Structure 1
Amino acid sequence: MRALSRLPLCGLAGVAAALAAPNPGLAQTASVAPAAVPGQSGGLVRENAGTPRASTPAATPSGIPDKPEVINVRLDQARAGLQPSLGAETYRLTRSALSTLPQGDNVPLNQALLQAPGVAQDSYGQIHVRGDHNEIQFRIDGVQLPEGLAVFGQSLQTRFAHDLSLTTGALPAQFGFLQAAVINIDTKTGRTDPGAELSVYGGARDYFQPSFAYGVSSGKWDLFATGDVLHSRVGIENPTSNFNAIHDLSNQYHGLAKLSYTADANTRVSLIAGISNAEYQIPNNPEQVPTLGLSYNGITNYNSADLTEHQKEITDFAILSLQKSIGALDLQSSLFTRYSSLHYSPDFVGDLLFDGISQTAARSVMSSGSQTDAAWYVSNTHTIRFGEQVFAERTISKVDSLVSPQIGLGDDGDPLYGDQPIGLHEGTGKTGMVYGVYLQDEWRILPSLTINYGARFDGVSEFVSATQFSPRVNVVWRPTRTTTLHAGYSRYFTPPPFEEVTNNSIAFFQGTSAASEVTQNDKVQPERDHYFDAGIDQIVLPGLHVSLDGYYKQATNLIDEGQFGAPIILSAFNYAKGQVHGYEASVTYDHGPVSLYANLAWSRAIGKRITSSQFDFSADDLAYISNRWVHLDHDQRWTGSGGAAYSFFYGSTHPLRASADLVVGSGLRADGDVPNGRALPGYYVVNFSLVQTLKHMIGRGTELRLDVLNLLDRRYIIRDGTGIGVGAPQYGLRRSILVGIAQKF
Structure 2
Amino acid sequence: MSRFPLRAIAAGAASALALSAHAQSSPTDPSSSSPSSPSSAPTPAASAKALNAVVVTAKRLDEARNALSPETGSSVYRFDSEDINTLPQGENTPLNQVLLQAPGVVQDSFGQLHVRGDHANLQYRINGVIIPEPISGFGQMLDTRFADEIKLITGALPAQYGFRTAGIVDIRTRGAAADEEGQPKAFGGEIGTVIGSHADHELNGYVQGAKGPWSYFLSGSFVENNLGIENPAAGRNAIHDHTDQGKAFGMLSYLINPDSRVSFMFGSADNRFQIPNRPGLSPSFSIDGVATPPSDQLNANQREKTDFQILSYQNKVSSALDFQVSLFHRTSRVDYNPDPIGDLAYNGVAANLTRRNEAYGVQADGSYVLSPSHTLRSGLFVQRERFAVNNTSSVLPADADGNQTSGVPFSIVDNTSNTGTTLGVYLQDEWKATDKLTVNYGARYDHINTVVSEQQVSPRLGLTYDLTNVTRLHAGYARYFTPPATEKIDTTSVAKFQGTTNALPSDANTSVRSERSDYFDVGISHQATRNLTLGLDAYYRKVRHLQDEGQFGNALIFSSFNFDDGKIYGLEGSANYRQGSFAAYANLSVSRAMAKGVETGQFHFGPDELAFIASNWVHLDHDQTVAGSFGTSYLWRGTLLTADALFGSGLRNGFANTSHLPAYFQVNAGVARTFETPIIGKFKVRFTVINLFDRSYQLRDGTGIGVGAPQYAPRRSFYVALSKPF
Match of 2:314 in 1: 323
Q: Deviations over 1:588-641 (max 9, x none)?
A: 012221111000000000001110111121111111111211000000000000
Q: Letter of the 2:682 partner, please give it.
A: G
Q: Deviations over 1:454-510 (max 9, x none)?
A: 000001100000110000001211021101001110000000111111112100011
Match of 2:466 among 472, 478, 483: 478
Q: Deviations over 1:311-362 (max 9, x none)?
A: 0000101111111101110111101111110000101111111111101101
Secondary structure, in 3 states, of the residue corresponding to 2:657?
Answer: coil
- Distance in 2 (CA, whole Å) between partners of 1:30 and 1:169 is 18
Match of 2:43 in 1: none
Matched, 1:304 2:295: yes
Matched, 1:160 2:173: no
Q: Deviations over 1:511-567 (max 9, x none)?
A: 111111454224100000000000000011113100100000000000000011111
Matched, 1:716 2:697: yes
Match of 2:45 in 1: none
Secondary structure, in 3 states, of the residue corresponding to 2:561?
Answer: strand
**Residues 536/695 of structure 1: CA separation in 2 closer, same or farther (3 Å cut):** farther
Q: Letter of the 1:701 partner, please give it.
A: K
1:621-636 to structure 2, matched below 5 A, reads: 621-636=609-624
Match of 1:387 in 2: 379
Match of 1:526 in 2: 514
Match of 2:641 in 1: 658
Q: Is the 8 A contact 1:680 1:717 kept in 2?
A: yes
- Distance in 1 (CA, whole Å) between partners of 2:294 and 2:3 is 49
Match of 2:4 in 1: 4
Match of 1:31 in 2: 15
Secondary structure, in 3 states, of the residue corresponding to 1:715?
Answer: coil
Q: Is the 8 A contact 2:567 2:594 kept in 1?
A: yes
Q: Is the 8 A contact 1:645 1:660 kept in 2?
A: yes
Q: Letter of the 1:580 partner, please give it.
A: I
- Distance in 1 (CA, whole Å) between partners of 2:677 and 2:332 is 43
- Distance in 2 (CA, whole Å) between partners of 1:320 and 1:477 is 38
Match of 1:683 in 2: 664
Secondary structure, in 3 states, of the residue corresponding to 1:285?
Answer: coil
Q: Letter of the 1:104 partner, please give it.
A: G
Q: Is the 8 A contact 2:10 2:75 kept in 1?
A: no
Matched, 1:439 2:422: no
Q: Letter of the 1:370 partner, please give it.
A: V
- Distance in 1 (CA, whole Å) between partners of 2:413 and 2:510 is 22
Q: Letter of the 2:693 partner, please give it.
A: L
- Distance in 2 (CA, whole Å) between partners of 1:31 and 1:3 is 20
Q: Is the 8 A contact 1:394 1:432 kept in 2?
A: yes
- Distance in 1 (CA, whole Å) between partners of 2:58 and 2:5 is 26
Matched, 1:492 2:480: yes
- Distance in 2 (CA, whole Å) between partners of 1:175 and 1:698 is 51
Match of 1:343 among 327, 335, 351: 335
1:348-387 to structure 2, matched below 5 A, reads: 348-387=340-379
Q: Is the 8 A contact 2:491 2:510 kept in 1?
A: no
Match of 1:92 among 78, 92, 96: 78
Deviation at 1:416, TM superposition (A): 3.8
Match of 1:177 in 2: 163
Match of 2:48 in 1: none
Q: Letter of the 2:449 partner, please give it.
A: S
Match of 1:19 in 2: none
- Distance in 2 (CA, whole Å) between partners of 1:398 and 1:8 is 45
Deviation at 1:131, TM superposition (A): 0.1
1:515-594 to structure 2, matched below 5 A, reads: 515-517=503-505, 519-594=507-582
Deviation at 1:150, TM superposition (A): 4.0
Deviates more, 1:609-618 or 1:434-443: 609-618
1:104-183 to structure 2, matched below 5 A, reads: 104-183=90-169
- Distance in 1 (CA, whole Å) between partners of 2:130 and 2:682 is 35
TM-score by length of 1: 0.91
- Distance in 2 (CA, whole Å) between partners of 1:65 and 1:222 is 16
- Distance in 2 (CA, whole Å) between partners of 1:355 and 1:154 is 28
- Distance in 2 (CA, whole Å) between partners of 1:381 and 1:456 is 22
Deviation at 1:696, TM superposition (A): 6.4
Match of 2:708 in 1: 727
Deviation at 1:99, TM superposition (A): 1.8
Deviation at 1:60, TM superposition (A): 5.2
Match of 1:272 in 2: 265
Q: Is the 8 A contact 1:2 1:595 kept in 2?
A: no
Match of 2:628 in 1: 640
The alignment's C-alpha RMSD in Å is 2.1
- Distance in 1 (CA, whole Å) between partners of 2:542 and 2:160 is 21
**Residues 8/256 of structure 1: CA separation in 2 closer, same or farther (3 Å cut):** closer
Match of 2:189 among 170, 193, 196: 196
**Residues 3/172 of structure 1: CA separation in 2 closer, same or farther (3 Å cut):** closer
Q: Is the 8 A contact 2:367 2:375 kept in 1?
A: yes
Q: Which runs of 5+ in 1 are unaligned?
A: 13-28, 39-46, 48-52, 650-654
Q: Is the 8 A contact 2:30 2:56 kept in 1?
A: no
- Distance in 2 (CA, whole Å) between partners of 1:191 and 1:414 is 63
Match of 2:490 in 1: 502
Q: Letter of the 2:647 partner, please give it.
A: V
**Residues 705/394 of structure 1: CA separation in 2 closer, same or farther (3 Å cut):** same
Q: Is the 8 A contact 1:235 1:248 kept in 2?
A: yes
- Distance in 1 (CA, whole Å) between partners of 2:668 and 2:403 is 52
**Residues 697/369 of structure 1: CA separation in 2 closer, same or farther (3 Å cut):** farther
Secondary structure, in 3 states, of the residue corresponding to 1:724?
Answer: coil
Deviation at 1:279, TM superposition (A): 0.5
Q: Is the 8 A contact 2:9 2:75 kept in 1?
A: no
- Distance in 2 (CA, whole Å) between partners of 1:578 and 1:469 is 20
Match of 2:229 in 1: 236
**Residues 622/697 of structure 1: CA separation in 2 closer, same or farther (3 Å cut):** farther
Secondary structure, in 3 states, of the residue corresponding to 1:73?
Answer: helix
Q: Letter of the 1:714 partner, please give it.
A: R
TM-score by length of 2: 0.93
**Residues 330/157 of structure 1: CA separation in 2 closer, same or farther (3 Å cut):** same
- Distance in 1 (CA, whole Å) between partners of 2:291 and 2:517 is 49
Q: Deviations over 1:36-81 (max 9, x none)?
A: 435xxxxxxxx9xxxxx99x9x995776878211111111111111
- Distance in 2 (CA, whole Å) between partners of 1:320 and 1:338 is 12
Match of 1:44 in 2: none
Deviation at 1:84, TM superposition (A): 2.2
Matched, 1:738 2:719: yes
Match of 1:604 among 572, 592, 599: 592
Secondary structure, in 3 states, of the residue corresponding to 1:77?
Answer: helix
Q: Deviations over 1:226-260 (max 9, x none)?
A: 10110110100000111000000000100111100
Matched, 1:313 2:304: yes
